Amino acid sequence: MSMGIPARIFATVLKFSPASLQNRLWKWWYQRISKAHNKVDFRFMNYGFVDENSPILDPEDEPYRLFIQLYHMNIRDIDLTDKQVLEVGSGRGGGASWIAKSEQPSSLIGVDFSKEAVSLCNDWYNQKNLDFIVGNAQDLPFDDDSFDIVYNVESSHCYGDINKFVSEVFRVLRKGGYFCWTDFRDEETMKKTEEIFHNAGFLVQFKKEITDEVVEALDMINDAKKERITELVPRTIRRSFETFAGVQGTPVYDSFKSGKLKYYRYQMIKEN
């Protein structure tokens, strides 16, 4: 498989592949994105969020406001101060870095299956309460009852087995711990995903569809995002990267506009 594989073909192969192959395909794809795009100023890969209750940001974080607001929205109702926190799917680490700085957990570990992404994060960020390690969301490398809070932002749609991921989150959370999740699904898949949350043992405290706020953010950042992709991403994967990034006119963006895909936020608790 070449780096220029069309995004539509990649998505079709994923759709009809078993879970084990899906994991390998996503890992292959994501590793190549990490290798192709190693600039320190490209710290976020999410779609962004327009927020009426937006956080106050330091000047150095202001250029990333829309992306940070998605993280803030996901965890804003939870007190992270002095807590042990895990991000599953930490990507390029921008969200974890901001949360570690602004919310002051005692520790925040970002786990990601891309060795390249983890290596970049460990080179980029030097915060005493923040670490990044390589790991599989479906087989988390932690003991039972290790964390007070687990959060997951726009990552789980890449996982081959959501049941394993959710059961692993439940396992590593302490009783009374919170699971904060945000991602996109079609309506039928979201119903099944919510059943998985319940079957694992989580109590859903809050849920909301946030598609409009995400699409508004995509529209606001579209031109700048296309310009940065043109500047920094090799031509061979540029169109595929635009699809991955939700640029206007790509299949993901069009699915949001048509209602085929919707974006959701869930806040859950592992009951005592």
Give the tens place of pLDDT for each residue, 72-84. 999 999 999 999 9
With tokens 């940065």, the residue in question is: 228
Cβ atoms of 63 and 236 within 8 Å: the answer is no
Looking at 18-32, 65-79, 81-95, which range is the least confident one? Answer: 18-32
**pLDDT tens track for 141-183:** 999 999 999 999 999 998 889 999 999 999 999 999 999 999 9
Three-state DSSP class for 49?
Answer: coil
pLDDT of residue 40: 53
pLDDT of residue 7: 47
Task: Give the span between the Cα atoms of 56 and 140, in whole angstroms.
Answer: 33
The contacts of residue 190 (CB under 8 Å, 6+ apart) are: 262, 264
- The domain locations on the chain are 7-270
Q: What angle do the packed helices 115-124 and 19-36 form, to 10 degrees?
A: 40
Nearest to 224 by CA among 13, 78, 67: 67
Task: Give the span between the Cα atoms of 13 and 76, in whole angstroms.
Answer: 37
pLDDT of residue 160: 86
pTM of the complete model = 0.87
Choosing among 3.40.50.300, 3.40.630.40, 3.40.50.150, 3.30.420.40, the CATH entry for 7-270 is 3.40.50.150
Cβ atoms of 43 and 110 within 8 Å: the answer is no
